């Protein structure tokens, strides 16, 4: 497969995964806005902006330091920033647009169904402005964009030929998901330390964002024990959105790709994925659960290994140096 | 005189007549223009009778709805072209006119012969001018016209190609007036439009399926099979299963959809310049499994951009070293560099002479009458008759850079005359053509609109033409310009089996 095509597939799925994640963050935040006191709403905003490592465009203009923008900016401004702000590289609409641009580059290898699904979603939302939806049910817009991403992934699963393209598409999705989950858990734990008592909606909301609430309830019933929630999201191999499951899938996918590449050098990404899986397998179960720092350290290490995997994928398959005509 | 498409030069006697009932009740004929559907007396032509009867029984709302649905599906499926303006790139669809244009088999056979003859002569011409240049030394075509043409590539001198194929894909624009079919121009560099031909057919066939079935219509669905075969046949010698790629300038090119469509349908990679590299005299593409050798490049970018080491040094779109590899015979490029000299608007004048010179035959399809401003008589005639002529710059295409005398203001004409006087070699002129018309859907029923045809002629070891064409229609009232960038639309062309 053409390296540029593989790269476009990889980034298309990363952008869509991110768009779906931010949409779900906003849906969860609307739940807080409707039901919870100001302090919870404020923490909800901090969770979003902290996990995305971002400040709203207005905060910079107003020279607001630290996280004080949360107190100074209203919900309309913050939602607008996260969903529609053109200068925000991770605004939901912008992410759909970028994914579509990636898809346009590789339309020749996408099925018509995949392209139409993404194109129709994008065309349906590209001219939407927050003022158009604010007076109604704005959360429906984000619920719908999250569903669009899931629908897209389902169509891709059903129609994509299982060549390298499919595997790079999967890699992008998995790498992005793990990085976003690590970052979300990191911010969440800092805002809601396990030892402290918190209203269960924060933990239920966390599961909702990670599309894990239903599965969690089937396993653990209705009690949102923070320890169990964290364990579920990180270490449950049966949960398709867990970090553990994602790492395991990355490993399998990389093995399929490198197994078909003949004379290639050993794949360094394999080494980093091994390290990340070892963390889950050996360090995660014995961490000091009473001490959040221990949990946060492991998450940080996993995130760092996944970042390396991303770098190695780029170096090995997309932008490798060409020494001779016999192959890299 | 047509109600909706008035031309500003009512110089001839107007003999208006109306066709009869239903959808066509307000359709007005004009004897100046050949009508593709109706005889001069307003009766449908024999091969169009079923079409006429079927359409007459359909409410216009239904057809308009079908047209809108098709256009919406074009947008959703991304069947678009890009237009660049002050607000950046915009993706637009080519509007579809749902009423097909019908061509009977005899007419098509005539066109096929004429187009085959023409492409054969053009390939002979290109082989000749880049090797022995006999046609120039024999004085059939002026030497300075060829060597002074900006599209003549001195770098191609001495290059011989497999089967002498310089042009593998040709799109010739045909018009019809009361005298018959004529070639308006040949597109020999990177002709586009074939994907819209196929998309229009798909849309019209699925919406008008009963009508479609009531005719025996020749299929065009195998175009990409023929294209692949033609490209495979020009591969460097000794390669039985060549690796073929389509080289695109990228998503911002106006014809990107077409590039994507063709690559996908042929099952070949759609590459950009930075996907390719040259090493040890061969071209490779960068894949996830390492570099892979490329044998044939169907390029959809202009000569200027294909190799910055030979042509424009600032090109970011091409592949350094590609031309050298091509000269070595290690990769084929379709169409070959330097083919633009044969579709120059002044060289066009000599195509009938080329046919006589190389093939010893009379041209089957004539050219449109053309005056070369580089010749004193042509210049004088053009300046004296500018009110009646269409004046074109020889290097422009797409309907740009031309003056339609009968429609131009005195200021525009004065300014254009200045330009012609300062550089006569850069201009040709042609009479304002009485281009044929065909019914299109208007707000109140059908209206007559001017139409042309762009069939695609392929050439590898032999010539192949799918029986059909990208039909274009001037949807803008009063316009003779069918180009999609200037208000033109697409029209399905049905070539009948009988």
> Does residue A33 form part of some domain?
yes
pLDDT of residue A60: 63
Q: Which of B77, B277, B287 comes nearest A116 by C-beta?
A: B77
Mean pLDDT, residues B456-463 taken together: 96
Range in A117-131, B3-17, B164-178, B393-407 the model is least confident about: B3-17
pLDDT tens string B233-282? 999 988 989 999 999 999 888 889 999 999 999 999 999 999 999 999 99
How high does pLDDT run on average in chain B? Answer: 89
Domain boundaries defined on chain B: 109-170+219-359, 371-431
- Compare B397 and B310 and report the one with higher pLDDT: B310
Q: Of A136, A159, A182, at which residue does a domain stop?
A: A159
What sign does the dihedral A85-A89-A93-A98 (CA atoms) show? positive
pLDDT of residue B219: 95
- A325–B78 CB contact, under 8 Å: no
Chain B's closest residue to A102, CA to CA, is: B251
Domain match, A249 and A116 both: no
Q: Which of B260, B270, B288 comes nearest A3 by C-beta?
A: B288
Domain containing A81: what range?
A: 1-159
* Interface residue B89 vs chain A (CB under 8 A): no
pLDDT of residue A323: 57
Domain match, A283 and A311 both: yes
Domain match, A1 and A147 both: yes
Q: Of A134, A159, A184, at which residue does a domain stop?
A: A159
Domain match, A169 and A30 both: no
> Does residue A89 form part of some domain?
yes
Residue B181 has pLDDT above 90, yes or no: yes
Interhelix angle A75-83/A38-51, rounded to 10 degrees, is: 20
pLDDT tens string B110-165? 999 999 999 999 999 999 999 999 999 999 999 999 999 999 999 999 999 989 99
- Compare A83 and B71 and report the one with higher pLDDT: A83
Provide the total of helices (H) and of strands (E) in chain A, helices listed first. 16, 0
Confidence of residue B21 (pLDDT cuts 50, 70, 90): low
> Does residue A216 form part of some domain?
yes
What would be the CATH architecture of the domain defined by B371-431?
A: 2-Layer Sandwich (3.30)
pTM of the model: 0.86
CATH of B109-170+219-359, one of 3.40.50.11290, 3.30.565.10, 3.40.50.10860, 3.20.20.70: 3.40.50.11290
- Compare B186 and A269 and report the one with higher pLDDT: B186
pLDDT of residue B333: 97
Chain A's closest residue to B259, CA to CA, is: A108
> Does residue A226 form part of some domain?
yes
> Does residue A325 form part of some domain?
no
Q: Which residues of A touch B (CB under 8 A)?
A: 1-6, 101, 104-109, 112, 115-116, 119-120, 123, 164, 168, 257, 260-264, 317-318, 320, 322, 324-325, 327-328
* Interface residue B130 vs chain A (CB under 8 A): no
The domain tally of chain A equals: 2
Residue B79 has pLDDT above 90, yes or no: no
Domain match, A262 and A281 both: yes
Mean pLDDT, residues B98-112 taken together: 95
Chain A's closest residue to B285, CA to CA, is: A2
pLDDT of residue B3: 35
> Does residue A327 form part of some domain?
no
> Does residue A117 form part of some domain?
yes
pLDDT of residue B410: 92
- Cα–Cα distance list, B143 to A246, B135, B149, B355 (Å): 69, 9, 10, 18
Domain match, A147 and A227 both: no
Domain match, A226 and A129 both: no
Contacting residues of A for B275, CB less than 8 Å apart: 2-4
pLDDT of residue B398: 62
Backbone angles phi, psi at B47, to 5 degrees: -75, -10
Q: Of A112, A141, A159, at which residue does a domain stop?
A: A159
Domain match, A175 and A236 both: yes
Mean pLDDT, residues B58-81 taken together: 82
- A325–B280 CB contact, under 8 Å: yes
- A264–B290 CB contact, under 8 Å: yes
pLDDT of residue A59: 67
Please state, in angstroms and rounded to a whole number, the distance separating the CA atoms of residues B410 and B416: 10
Domain match, A131 and A222 both: no
Domain match, A143 and A172 both: no
Confidence of residue B1 (pLDDT cuts 50, 70, 90): very low
Q: Mutation test of the interface with chain B: which of A108, A253, A325, choosing the one with the most B Cβ atoms within 10 A?
A: A108
pLDDT of residue B466: 96
Residue B11 has pLDDT above 50, yes or no: no
Q: Please report, in tens digits, the pLDDT of each residue of chain A (328 residues total).
A: 999 999 999 999 999 999 999 999 999 999 888 878 888 888 899 999 999 998 877 666 565 566 666 666 788 989 999 999 999 999 999 999 999 999 999 988 998 899 999 999 999 898 899 999 998 889 999 999 999 999 999 999 999 999 999 999 999 999 999 999 999 999 999 998 888 776 777 888 999 999 999 999 999 887 788 889 999 999 999 999 999 999 999 999 998 988 744 445 557 888 899 999 999 999 999 998 888 899 999 999 999 999 999 999 999 999 988 754 433 3
pLDDT of residue B72: 81
Domain match, A5 and A125 both: yes
Mean pLDDT, residues B444-452 taken together: 89
Query: Which of A118-122, B94-98, B189-193, B295-299 is most confident?
Result: B295-299
Q: How much helix, strand and coil, in percent to the nearest 5, is found in chain A?
A: 75, 0, 25
Closest CA to B343 of B156, B172, B136: B172
pLDDT of residue A278: 95
Domain match, A288 and A177 both: yes
Confidence of residue B85 (pLDDT cuts 50, 70, 90): low
């Amino acid at each position: 497969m053409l390296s540029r095509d593989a790269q476009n597939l990889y980034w298309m799925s990363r952008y869509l995964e991110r768009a779906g994640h931010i949409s779900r963050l906003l849906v969860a935040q609307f739940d807080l806005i409707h039901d919870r006191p100001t302090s919870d709403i404020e923490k909800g905003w901090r969770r979003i902006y902290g996990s995305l490592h971002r400040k709203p465009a207005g905060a910079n203009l107003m020279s607001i330091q630290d996280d004080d923008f949360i107190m100074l900016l209203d919900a309309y401004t913050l939602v607008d920033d996260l969903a529609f702000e053109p200068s925000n590289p991770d605004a939901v609409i912008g992410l759909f647009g970028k994914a579509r641009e990636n898809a346009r580059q590789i339309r020749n290898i996408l099925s018509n169904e995949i392209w139409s699904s993404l194109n129709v979603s994008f065309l349906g939302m590209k001219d939407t402005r927050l003022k158009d939806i604010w007076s109604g049910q704005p959360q429906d817009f984000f619920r719908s964009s999250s569903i669009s991403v899931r629908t897209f992934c389902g169509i891709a699963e059903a129609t994509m030929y299982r060549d390298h393209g499919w595997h790079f598409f999967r890699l992008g999705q998995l790498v992005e998901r793990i990085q976003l989950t690590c970052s979300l858990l990191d911010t969440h734990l800092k805002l809601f330390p396990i030892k402290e008592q918190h209203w269960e909606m924060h933990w239920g909301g966390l599961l909702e964002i990670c599309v894990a609430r239903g599965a969690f309830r089937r396993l653990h019933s209705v009690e949102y024990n923070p320890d169990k929630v964290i364990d579920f999201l990180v270490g449950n191999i049966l949960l398709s959105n867990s970090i553990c499951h994602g790492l395991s899938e990355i490993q399998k996918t990389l093995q399929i790709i490198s197994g078909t590449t003949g004379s290639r050098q050993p794949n360094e990404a394999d080494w980093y994925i091994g390290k990340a899986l070892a963390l889950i397998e050996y360090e995660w179960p014995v961490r000091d659960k009473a001490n959040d720092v221990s949990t946060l350290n492991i998450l940080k290490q996993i995130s760092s290994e996944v970042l390396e995997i991303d770098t190695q994928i780029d170096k090995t398959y997309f932008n490798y140096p060409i020494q001779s005509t016999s192959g890299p | 005189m047509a109600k909706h498409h008035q031309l500003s030069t009512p110089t001839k006697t107007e003999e208006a007549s109306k066709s009869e009932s239903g959808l066509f009740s307000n359709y007005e004929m004009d004897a100046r223009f050949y009508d593709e559907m109706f005889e001069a007396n307003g009766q449908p032509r024999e091969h169009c009778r079923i079409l006429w009867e079927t359409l007459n029984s359909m409410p216009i709302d239904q057809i308009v709805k079908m047209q809108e649905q098709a256009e919406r599906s074009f947008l959703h499926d991304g069947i678009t072209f890009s237009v660049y303006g002050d607000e950046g790139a915009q993706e637009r669809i080519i509007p579809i006119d749902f009423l097909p244009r019908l061509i009977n088999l005899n007419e098509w056979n005539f066109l096929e012969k004429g187009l085959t003859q023409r492409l054969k002569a053009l390939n002979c011409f290109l082989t000749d001018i880049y090797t022995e240049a006999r046609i120039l030394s024999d004085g059939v075509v002026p030497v300075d016209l060829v060597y002074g043409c900006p599209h003549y590539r001195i770098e191609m001198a001495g290059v011989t190609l497999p089967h002498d194929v310089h042009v593998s894909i040709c799109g010739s624009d045909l018009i019809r007036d009361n005298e018959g079919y004529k070639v308006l121009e040949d597109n020999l560099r990177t002709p586009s439009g074939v994907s819209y031909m196929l998309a229009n057919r798909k849309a019209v066939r699925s919406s008008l399926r009963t009508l479609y079935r009531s005719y025996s219509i020749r299929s065009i669905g195998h175009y990409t099979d023929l294209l692949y075969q033609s490209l495979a046949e020009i591969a460097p010698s000794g390669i039985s299963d060549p690796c073929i790629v389509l080289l695109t300038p990228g998503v911002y090119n106006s014809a990107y959809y077409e590039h994507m469509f063709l690559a996908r349908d042929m099952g070949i990679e759609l590459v950009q310049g930075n996907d390719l590299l040259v090493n040890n005299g061969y071209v490779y593409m960068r894949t996830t499994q390492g570099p892979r050798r490329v044998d044939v490049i169907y390029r959809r970018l202009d000569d200027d951009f294909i190799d910055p080491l030979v042509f424009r040094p600032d090109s970011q779109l091409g592949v350094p070293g590609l031309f050298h590899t091509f000269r070595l015979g290690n990769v084929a490029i379709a169409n070959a560099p330097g083919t633009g000299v044969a579709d120059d608007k002044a060289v066009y004048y000599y195509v009938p002479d080329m046919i006589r010179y190389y093939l010893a035959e009379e041209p089957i399809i004539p050219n449109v009458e053309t005056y070369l401003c580089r010749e004193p008589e042509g210049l004088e005639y053009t300046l004296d008759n500018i009110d009646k002529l269409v004046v074109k710059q020889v290097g422009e295409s797409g309907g740009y850079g031309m003056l339609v005398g009968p429609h131009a203001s005195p200021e525009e004409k004065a300014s254009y005359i200045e330009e012609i006087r300062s550089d006569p070699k850069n201009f040709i002129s042609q009479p304002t053509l009485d281009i044929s018309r065909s019914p299109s859907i208007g707000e109140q029923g059908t209206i007559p609109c001017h139409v042309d045809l762009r069939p695609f002629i392929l050439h590898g070891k032999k010539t192949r033409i799918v029986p059909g064409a990208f039909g274009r229609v001037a949807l803008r009232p009063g316009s003779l310009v069918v180009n999609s960038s200037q208000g033109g639309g697409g029209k399905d062309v049905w070539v009948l089996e009988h």
